Chain A
Amino acid sequence: MGQVSLSIEVTSSPAQAGAEIGVSARVTCSPACDTTGLVVALFEAGGNRLGEVELSRFDGDAASSDDLVLSAPLAVGAHQWTAVLPGFDAGDMSFAGATVPIDIEVTAHAVTLNIWGLPGAIAAGSTASMFVGARCSCGCALGGRTITIHDETGALISEAVLGDTVWQKTEALYFAEAAFSVAGGEGMHDWQVRFAGADMTPEHASGMAPVGVRIVAPAEHVVTVEAVDDNEAPLAGAIVSMHPFRTTTDERGVAQIHVPKGSYRLFVSARRHVSSHTEIDVSGDVSTRARLAVEIRPERL
């Protein structure tokens, strides 16, 4: 007595709501028989016909089809489709046909959040801003959606609406600049940026990204840094860092950083030059000079 087996392969399971998935069929017989040319029909739970795949290749053991590209259901959760293999005769064997279930697990779209452009230190009592970008795992347009910023207690600090254009050089990163003010509480604060998408169709999972916000005492002193090269020429655009403060030099090679008093490591770095660093104690206004040597590249031997 012979046997016929129908198996259905789904390229992505679980599948994201509404996303493209590939469905293919494979039929094996025992004893082996070539069933190419047969058509397997695919149906939704309600009986709507989704499409069909034709068995087009036989490898001596099984007949299989190419992928049929379908859209996953929009509703998040478990779904069941069916595949119907028609009856056929092969040699002494007569097969009456069969229907097999196809389990489809559908998930919400994921949203990833990026935060950038946040100053390394924000003086208590001042205002600042950060850029927030949101990217759907399926590349959905997220313009018009709201992102919110919360402090460590969950209190709302700020909110902003994502624009309809994507951030430069990205494919689907929708962004907003969110302004906020800080009241006090010097030190590092663990805030959160949130995105809610449960009301969207298809459904989007909530997104969350932590963001560290450093609140510092108001600056008391000015550190003036002059960056020059080996020939005493000014280095414009050099980066001057006194963690957590950072700025760049102007056309004269001069930068000013406003900092609270304290001890710092002063870095000055410029493209193709060797960074300089020095320890510096700030108890009043300070002026210093950084001479950066051109970086000597190892010779290719």
Chain B
Amino acid sequence: MTRKLGDKDDVSTEDSSVSRREFFKGGIAVAGMGAAAAVALPGAAQAATPDGIAWDYEYDVVVIGAGCAGVAAAIRARDLGASVLAVDQNFEVGGKMLHSTGLISLGGGDPLQLRDIRGEADPDGYITVPPVEDPAELEDDVDLLFRDMTDWSVLDPQAQAPYRYNERPLHRAWADNCSAVRTFLLDNNVRMGRISGTHGNAGMSRARRAYAFLMEGEATDVVKGTITKEDAGIPGVSSSLFAPTLMQDGSGTVAPTARTNGTALARPLEHSARAKGVQFTLHRHMDEVIREEQFSGRVLGIKASYSPRLDPKTGERLEGYWHDGNIDEKKDVVYIRAKKAVVVSSGGHAANPEFRGMFHPGFREPAFVSSGFAWLGPRGQDASGIKAGIRIGAGLAGMQQNLSYPSTFHFPGTLATRDPYTTMLPGNPAFSTRGSTGIDLGNDSFQHLIAVNQVGKRFFNEMTLLKGWSNASFPPGPNKGQPAAGLDFKQLDWRNASAENVRNTYSANAGVHAATALNEGSAEPDFLSGPIWAIFDQAAVDRDEWNIEPPFTSPDNGLFLSADTIEELAWKIRSGCQWQRVELKHLVDTVNNWNANVDSGLDPDFERGPDAPMYKIDTPRFYAAALFPVWHDSYGGLHINGKAQVVDMEGAVIPGLYAGGEASGGGNQHGLGRALVHGYIAGTNAVGEPAA
């Protein structure tokens, strides 16, 4: 249903008992609801308006990015009567939320905490496991939550302060709205299991995290809360169009046949948004936020260009699961007017090498991508929302917090893929971008390989490359950077930040920094560090039973190479991988030296050996598999206040501009809880803006 200005369709809402997919397949029009329905400009009738811009579309609220913060903002604004258009560059609604693990940390005495304190199940009776946490660990309130999220004293195992630099007005509002957002999710068909612990950097003192889930059933129906096994994904075999990543076992916090991940959050929200009349235009990239004057006046709308997600092999456009409510506009550039507000929820900067290079120059290397690269495509997480904000004067916040979350940049440990941080398997259209699932190794499997840089030199003890995951969250304890466990943790206690505590709990791992450090192949002008390669032999493949055949590897993506000899392998890497810019001139010597180390039982270079046995790399055939780190999340972004309004460099609100999720900064919380609340707040306040 294309809705340009002049379209006067009335509203119809669906019977919630109807499967969403069937509903949309039936072609029933879903239009704007209430008095504030969108006014659309027929393309042929475009005319220059007093602001001088020929708008193609006009809505009350325009949301940039249909991910976690964006969908929440869109639904909330729609619930309050606004016409809403969400613009996304991907072929699907959902963004990283759909690709995620579906962990939602809220709190402050939210309905799930209360439910588990009472020992109750969910209304459907799907939850059969008893509460995971003791009632005392679930007793929470807004003030406790706010203190947790701004606790200056907490240092994590990297001696970073995850809460100290959190923006105070933002987190007061975040804490105030957590409980409402949990209710909002429940009201929009999101089902969540037992509270278990807390997601990264969502507070140390109470348990606040729950998985979104769906139950295995005969049909996929998000209203009823069910999903088929095929749609949930078959381990080791396939993902689906419905769930791009493999849904996980939810037996620990829900029931034996529960499946969890972001699909169980994103699909119900998308379904609800479409049913309520939120419209989407996909395959469209926001290029510019338009303000009356560059640094003054209110925000008027956006400029967005057609940017179709294409299958890299067939060239065909990728298509999503649901279509009704989509505006399938293919015009190169459209101008979309926002009568009330624009919400920037376009994600972070994880896939923008130049932007992330501001925080870690080693990650200016373009070979490294963000987590979910295949899912989001080459234009996902490109910092476009942040850059658009900067161009009209927006301030930034929390930029240094990029460095303080353990998994911001790290080695996921999956070889032979450029997108190692995903469980996406063949079956989803985006898999064509991934190309191979990779060889997914645990830490212990690293005993069978060596890792080398772009000149073929080892750089670290391979057995520790994957380590470094602890964050400061509940339940605290030494592995979270705190000496106490459970409720013994004391908020705001100076001892949390004492040197003695740091000495006792420090466990940072510098492997990823060694991997991205300058090396002999780093040359002007950018001194890029180049790819990282896992080198191993056929004996390792046989010993540890690695599957190196497609789709685990790809014969043509340059990330998995094999040869009869190490000499030939070095040549193949150089000639076969687009990211390899120099000769691996040390590779033969490195392998010979490693084999000599194995003979001696010692690794004088990196002290590997005490952790695990060492094996020679000597049995043909020889293999090289890309071992790429990812930049997982973004923590620096647009400065927003407690209303999710974007604040400029002078401390003034930019009228009509809101932001949230990874496009915003000043909140070092990991995951969905942060973005959902931002979106909810933004949607609430955007509707309250005076109409232009």
- A residues within 8 Å of B by Cβ? 112, 114-117, 120, 133, 135, 167-173, 188, 210, 212, 214, 239, 241, 243-244, 246, 265, 267, 269, 271-275, 277, 295, 297-301
Of the candidates B444, B600, B620, which one forms a contact with A275 in the assembled complex, judged by CB atoms under 8 Å apart? B444
Q: Tell me the bound Cα distance from A271 to B542 in angstroms.
A: 11
Q: Tell me the bound Cα distance from A232 to B447 in angstroms.
A: 24
B618 close to A (CB within 8 Å): yes
Chain A residues within an 8 Å CB radius of B612: 267, 269, 275, 277
Binds A, one of B54-62, B291-299, B562-570, B651-659: B562-570
A174 shortest CB reach to chain B, Å: 10
Write the B182-209 contact mask toward A (1 if CB under 8 angstroms, else 0). 0000000000000000011000000000
Pair A112/B442 contact, Cβ less than 8 Å: no
B538 close to A (CB within 8 Å): yes
B528 shortest CB reach to chain A, Å: 27
Pair A301/B671 contact, Cβ less than 8 Å: yes
A2 shortest CB reach to chain B, Å: 41
Q: Tell me the bound Cα distance from A298 to B422 in angstroms.
A: 12
B119 close to A (CB within 8 Å): no
Pair A271/B671 contact, Cβ less than 8 Å: no
Chain A residues within an 8 Å CB radius of B621: 167, 169-170
Pair A295/B442 contact, Cβ less than 8 Å: yes
Pair B538/A135 contact, Cβ less than 8 Å: no
B484 shortest CB reach to chain A, Å: 23
Known A169-B621, A299-B101, A301-B100; further 5 A-B contacts with Cβ < 8 A:
A173-B620, A271-B544, A272-B444, A274-B444, A301-B103
A16 shortest CB reach to chain B, Å: 14
Given A243-B601, A300-B421, are A114 and B565 neighbors across the interface (CB < 8 Å)? yes
Q: Tell me the bound Cα distance from A244 to B537 in angstroms.
A: 20
Pair A275/B618 contact, Cβ less than 8 Å: no
Pair A212/B442 contact, Cβ less than 8 Å: no
Q: What would 29 A/B residue contacts be, using CB atoms closer than 8 Å? A: A112-B565, A114-B564, A114-B565, A114-B618, A116-B616, A116-B619, A120-B598, A120-B599, A133-B620, A135-B568, A167-B564, A168-B538, A169-B538, A171-B564, A173-B565, A210-B592, A212-B599, A214-B599, A239-B543, A239-B613, A243-B613, A246-B613, A267-B612, A271-B445, A275-B444, A275-B447, A275-B613, A301-B103, A301-B407
Pair A297/B442 contact, Cβ less than 8 Å: yes
B639 close to A (CB within 8 Å): no
Of the candidates A112, A116, A274, A298, which one forms a contact with B466 in the assembled complex, judged by CB atoms under 8 Å apart? A298
Q: Tell me the bound Cα distance from A135 to B670 in angstroms.
A: 52
Q: Tell me the bound Cα distance from A273 to B692 in angstroms.
A: 63
Pair B620/A170 contact, Cβ less than 8 Å: yes
A271 shortest CB reach to chain B, Å: 5
Q: Tell me the bound Cα distance from A110 to B578 in angstroms.
A: 27
Q: Tell me the bound Cα distance from A273 to B442 in angstroms.
A: 9
Q: Which residue of A lies closest to B598 (CB)?
A: A120
A195 shortest CB reach to chain B, Å: 13
Residue of B200, B601, B670 most packed against chain A (CB within 10 A):
B601
Write the B655-692 contact mask toward A (1 if CB under 8 angstroms, else 0). 00000000000000011000000000000000000000
Q: Tell me the bound Cα distance from A219 to B460 in angstroms.
A: 35
B162 close to A (CB within 8 Å): no
Q: Which residue of B lies closest to A268 (CB)?
A: B613
Chain A residues within an 8 Å CB radius of B489: none
B400 close to A (CB within 8 Å): no
Q: Tell me the bound Cα distance from A244 to B543 in angstroms.
A: 18
Chain A residues within an 8 Å CB radius of B200: 301
Pair A167/B620 contact, Cβ less than 8 Å: yes
B16 close to A (CB within 8 Å): no
B412 close to A (CB within 8 Å): yes
B329 close to A (CB within 8 Å): no
Chain B residues within an 8 Å CB radius of A115: 618
Chain B residues within an 8 Å CB radius of A274: 444
B539 close to A (CB within 8 Å): yes
Pair B613/A116 contact, Cβ less than 8 Å: no
10 tightest A-B contacts by CB? A243-B601, A241-B613, A116-B618, A116-B619, A173-B564, A267-B613, A170-B564, A212-B599, A112-B565, A169-B621
Chain A residues within an 8 Å CB radius of B562: 169
Pair A188/B671 contact, Cβ less than 8 Å: no
Q: Tell me the bound Cα distance from A300 to B407 in angstroms.
A: 10
B260 shortest CB reach to chain A, Å: 11
Pair A277/B610 contact, Cβ less than 8 Å: yes
Residue of B412, B537, B544, B618 most packed against chain A (CB within 10 A):
B618
Interface residues of B in 595-638 (CB under 8 A from A): 595-596, 598-601, 610-613, 616, 618-621, 632
Q: Tell me the bound Cα distance from A115 to B567 in angstroms.
A: 14
Interface residues of B in 196-241 (CB under 8 A from A): 199-200
B443 close to A (CB within 8 Å): yes
Interface residues of B in 468-520 (CB under 8 A from A): 469
Q: Tell me the bound Cα distance from A72 to B623 in angstroms.
A: 31
Chain A residues within an 8 Å CB radius of B598: 120
Residue of A120, A214, A300 most packed against chain B (CB within 10 A):
A300
Q: Tell me the bound Cα distance from A135 to B537 in angstroms.
A: 16
Pair B671/A244 contact, Cβ less than 8 Å: no
Q: Which residue of A lies closest to B671 (CB)?
A: A301
A225 shortest CB reach to chain B, Å: 13
Q: Tell me the bound Cα distance from A33 to B47 in angstroms.
A: 55
B526 close to A (CB within 8 Å): no
Write the B354-394 contact mask toward A (1 if CB under 8 angstroms, else 0). 00000000000000000000000000000000000000000
B407 shortest CB reach to chain A, Å: 6
Of the candidates B421, B423, B545, B613, which one forms a contact with A271 in the assembled complex, judged by CB atoms under 8 Å apart? B545
Q: Tell me the bound Cα distance from A297 to B422 in angstroms.
A: 13
Given A169-B620, A275-B611, are A112 and B444 neighbors across the interface (CB < 8 Å)? no
Q: Which residue of A lies closest to B670 (CB)?
A: A301
Residue of B412, B599, B671 most packed against chain A (CB within 10 A):
B599
Of the candidates B101, B412, B466, B596, which one forms a contact with A212 in the assembled complex, judged by CB atoms under 8 Å apart? B596
Chain A residues within an 8 Å CB radius of B423: 300
Chain B residues within an 8 Å CB radius of A112: 565, 567-568
A237 shortest CB reach to chain B, Å: 9
Q: Which residue of B lies closest to A174 (CB)?
A: B564
Q: Tell me the bound Cα distance from A171 to B564 in angstroms.
A: 7
Pair A269/B601 contact, Cβ less than 8 Å: no
Q: Tell me the bound Cα distance from A243 to B597 in angstroms.
A: 12
B266 shortest CB reach to chain A, Å: 15
A27 shortest CB reach to chain B, Å: 30
Chain B residues within an 8 Å CB radius of A272: 442, 444-445
Q: Tell me the bound Cα distance from A112 to B566 in angstroms.
A: 9
Q: Which residue of B lies closest to A239 (CB)?
A: B613
B408 shortest CB reach to chain A, Å: 11
Pair A269/B444 contact, Cβ less than 8 Å: yes
Of the candidates A116, A214, A269, A273, which one forms a contact with B539 in the assembled complex, judged by CB atoms under 8 Å apart? A116
Q: Which residue of A lies closest to B541 (CB)?
A: A169
Q: Tell me the bound Cα distance from A273 to B538 in angstroms.
A: 21
Interface residues of B in 524-556 (CB under 8 A from A): 537-539, 543-545
Pair A295/B543 contact, Cβ less than 8 Å: no
Write the B412-436 contact mask toward A (1 if CB under 8 angstroms, else 0). 1000000001110000000000000
Q: Tell me the bound Cα distance from A171 to B598 in angstroms.
A: 27
Chain B residues within an 8 Å CB radius of A188: 599-600
Given A269-B613, A275-B611, A299-B101, are A135 and B442 neighbors across the interface (CB < 8 Å)? no
Q: Which residue of A lies closest to B261 (CB)?
A: A300
Q: Tell me the bound Cα distance from A207 to B611 in angstroms.
A: 36
Pair A269/B447 contact, Cβ less than 8 Å: yes
Q: Which residue of A lies closest to B633 (CB)?
A: A301
Chain A residues within an 8 Å CB radius of B421: 300
Chain A residues within an 8 Å CB radius of B670: 301
Residue of B422, B469, B565, B611 most packed against chain A (CB within 10 A):
B565
A289 shortest CB reach to chain B, Å: 18
Q: Which residue of B lies closest to A272 (CB)?
A: B442
Chain B residues within an 8 Å CB radius of A239: 543, 613
Residue of B199, B543, B545, B613 most packed against chain A (CB within 10 A):
B613
Q: Which residue of B lies closest to A169 (CB)?
A: B621
Q: Tell me the bound Cα distance from A120 to B613 in angstroms.
A: 13
